[in-house]
Chains A and B, each alone.
Chain A
């Protein structure tokens, strides 16, 4: 990151409005609006799913009907009408893509606009990211499959995994986030349409970053994807996800479930750059991002979550770690930026079950405009978690007089040998800092970019290089014109 300069930023600032707001004109195969058993059967049939999965969905649906939408988060929004959502939308395709060359040119164009350079990747064998591209409900293309296959690594869409590796899916799915976990997890379990699946075999270090790119395209649709990452004993994988959506006046619902399983001595690094459409300056439109993400650690294993959240109208998201195995490590690094009328309630849960378990939480919240940004975190030390350690640091930066920063840390400790530390700061972006930058010839937007990126450095440093640069730009663009 040291050789990153702000030069390219200039160009990006020229189109500081949400630049992923375009729609792609691709014919879609859709289910009718609404949610009932028939729709679920329709989805399952479309996906040619086995009986057990259909039953799993139907059970989840029954459970969901008895559940209530959570209202404890520090966010206000009009509850979605679940009968007014299209639960299945797939880009129409006559046959399955046999190769990259079969992919619809419109689709390729979309990917190009999103900066997913699959074509380039195909040519350059030296690159180190494999991408799975999920548009609306369906995975469109996955690159580098064969190369990964040589190492026994499975990286494919969730639907393919259900067909090709049913035992692996059945054995692991729902073990970290059970269907009954919460309202949105239950909904997702009933109606999920696709997502990514990844399996790293014993002792294998995945040689490249695995990446899933999520895109909502069709209007009126919801996106419900599932990601399942299983890192078998002694393996390592770094996984990235990126998300964008077109600019629309309506609110669209995104309710995903991500499950990570790190077996003994394994390590999973999971990074997210979330840039769903945040709504316009007056708070119209934008994505409701209600996501359940959780990982479970075996002995000596490690799960590290890094997230940069700049998009969505409302974010409700707590990537968590269950530190079940002794000596396991959980990390959570987060930057959440809210501007205009955006609301974010995000944080993590670190559940210490094993001995000598360690967790670190670094959260940076930045609120601008009239937005509200909350950190909500739980550190739970169980009875048997001897010598457990936690360190939490939650910093909030206010960019305007009308924005709000809130911190809700919960600590539950049932073992006296454990050590839990919590630090929190709230500060306002300094006019003096901006003046200092300007006096050196740096314009206001660039100055804010510098200051904010500096503020978030500890978190951005956790991201893989390619993502870090993208995230830095995003932060600057999201905060455009926000000092006041």
Chain B
């Protein structure tokens, strides 16, 4: 699905990603953990195409296309979705209008027929149930006056509506109480198929109690330094990151 090789990226003069390698296959869930400042959110931003970052080296193959060659919107249209850590409000633009525009653009890019109003509304009804989103929320302005939990649920709702190939969840668990966490995780699990993949960026093991990863990676100082199964997350929760730093120093 996605193959990242030797990815280096900087913001200003500061190099954040320093030769990162990662491969995610269809049907897999990968968790990326790591201490603050390791480059987790930078990775998400670089893959999504945020212009503040400059990619200096490396390649990213996304299902057969060169991801780094695509504009931000074309990456999204090719099926890359980022659930934002801090979803931004767009006052006066209803969620419905926003998503209808997005789906319209994606379909046009894929040279598909535009979605009919009936199809679209049926999709909204179906997918809003998935994250227990109040139908009223769908007609409110995008993220405006939403609580922290509503914003995150709205991100997963958008993900469900856009049905991406690869979803990157950037600290989707931050700021969620335990009920909201469960709702969000359930949503993500229900959306999982053999054909799509998920990268979960998180600080905490608790999200991984609900979204069970196939692989857990430790991102440290701009590189993936350790990879393991879901038990690695438990180990990190228990022992912190210092032992990994020591391991690295000894090598």
Contacts and interface: CB of A to CB of B under 8 A. Distances in A.
Q: Do chains A and B interact in one complex?
A: yes
A5 B162 contact: no
A3 B118 CA distance: 12
A433 B106 contact: no
Contacts of B76: 438-441
B169 to A, nearest CB: 13
Nearest to B117: A3
Nearest to A9: B101
Nearest to B161: A440
B226 interface: no
A443 B105 CA distance: 8
B41 to A, nearest CB: 13
Interface stretch (B7-15, B80-88, B171-179, B227-235): B80-88
B165 interface: no
A454 B96 CA distance: 13
A443 B73 contact: yes
A455 B96 CA distance: 16
Contact of B101 (A5, A456, A457, A458): A5
A439 B114 CA distance: 19
Interface in A404-419: none
Contacts of B141: 454
Contact of A2 (B50, B73, B94): B94
A9 to B, nearest CB: 9
A457 B100 CA distance: 18
A440 B98 contact: yes
A450 B101 contact: yes
Interface string B86-115: 011011111011111111111011000010
B105 A442 contact: yes
Contact of A442 (B49, B73, B82, B117): B73
A2 B138 CA distance: 12
A436 B87 contact: yes
B101 A446 contact: yes
B100 A5 contact: yes
A78 B100 CA distance: 46
B73 to A, nearest CB: 4
A447 to B, nearest CB: 8
A451 interface: yes
A437 B51 CA distance: 14
A7 interface: yes
B104 A439 contact: no
Given A7-B114, A457-B92, A444 B100 contact: no
A142 B100 CA distance: 39
Contacts of B87: 436
A442 B91 contact: no
Interface of B is mostly: helix
A432 interface: yes
Interface string A411-429: 0000000000000000000
A432 B88 contact: yes
Nearest to B79: A441
B43 interface: no
Q: How large is the interface on B (under 10, 10 to 19, 20 to 34, 35 or more residues)?
A: 35 or more
Contacts of B117: 3
A451 B97 CA distance: 11
A6 interface: yes
A453 interface: yes
A52 B81 CA distance: 72
Contact of A455 (B81, B92, B139): B92
A457 B106 CA distance: 25
A178 interface: no
B114 A441 contact: no
A80 interface: no
A436 B104 contact: no
A10 B114 CA distance: 13
Given A6-B104, A450-B93, A440 B88 contact: no
Contacts of A446: 101, 105
Contacts of A5: 97, 100-101, 104
Given A439-B82, A440-B158, A7 B50 contact: no
B165 to A, nearest CB: 13
A440 B91 CA distance: 17
Contacts of B73: 438-439, 441-444
A454 B90 CA distance: 7
A32 interface: no
Contacts of A458: 92
Nearest to B82: A439
Contacts of B93: 450-451, 453-454
B97 to A, nearest CB: 7
A438 B90 contact: no
B21 interface: no
Given A439-B73, A454-B90, 17 more contacts: A2-B96, A432-B88, A433-B90, A437-B90, A438-B49, A438-B71, A438-B72, A438-B73, A439-B81, A439-B82, A441-B106, A441-B162, A442-B105, A450-B98, A450-B101, A454-B92, A457-B91
Query: Lowest 4 A-B CB distances belong to which pairs?
Result: A454-B92, A454-B93, A457-B92, A441-B76
27 contacts: A2-B94, A2-B96, A2-B97, A3-B117, A6-B101, A7-B104, A433-B88, A435-B48, A435-B50, A435-B72, A437-B98, A438-B49, A438-B76, A439-B72, A439-B76, A440-B102, A441-B73, A441-B106, A441-B162, A442-B98, A442-B101, A450-B90, A451-B90, A454-B91, A454-B92, A454-B141, A457-B91
Interface of A: 2-7, 10, 430, 432-433, 435-444, 446, 450-451, 453-458
Interface of B: 48-51, 71-73, 75-77, 81-82, 84, 87-88, 90-94, 96-106, 108-109, 114, 117, 139, 141, 158, 162
